[in-house]
Amino acid sequence: MSGIRGKNTKPELLIRKALHAAGYRFRIHRNDLSGKPDIVLPKYHAVIFVHGCFWHGHSCHLFRLPQSNTDFWTRKIAVNQCNDRLAKDKLVGEGWRVMTVWECATKGKSRLQVAGIVNLFAEWLLSSSSEHEIKGGNATISTSIANAGKRLPDNLSEDTCR
């Protein structure tokens, strides 16, 4: 797992390149914000998280729980989802607008065109919604992470997320 990058992933670079080409200026990986958002647009008081479907347990065709060491992976992904939810809630509480772009929006059988992702982003910036989610095949406005409704494993509580 040491070879897995958490920053500058292909989906993240694709989104950054498209946003920059569309004229948006941003900062990346700000350590002073909860969850270290991948892209921060201070002018719009908005942040973007580009989540990998496997690592964040997205319910799409790109996610499949490994058959070996299932307990470890279930716990790891649940902790990631919990941390995502806490970071997002904290940012919204601080007045930031939060967008989540899932990896399946940029690759796989249900991917969107990059121009379409930028258009959805622009529409969201003009809206009054504080949270938005873009996933493969479509985009939905939501008030929580896609998998937030899933119950945490019995041995995992909100306090043990971090």
What DSSP string runs through 54-123?
TTTT-SSTT----SSSHHHHHHHHHHHHHHHHHHHHHHHHTT-EEEEEEGGGTSSTTPPPHHHHHHHHHH
Bigger pLDDT: 123 vs 161: 123
pLDDT for 7 beyond 60: yes
The residue whose two tokens read 């995992």 is: 156
Which domains are present in the chain? 10-151 (3.40.960.10)
Bigger pLDDT: 64 vs 137: 64
The amino acid at residue 157 is S
The amino acid at residue 128 is S
pLDDT digits (tens, 9 = 90+) for 117-155: 899 999 998 898 999 999 887 654 443 333 334 444 555
Kind of pairing between the strands at 46-51 and 97-102:
parallel
| Residue 146 and residue 58 in contact, taking contact as beta carbons nearer than 8 Å | yes
pLDDT for 17 beyond 70: yes
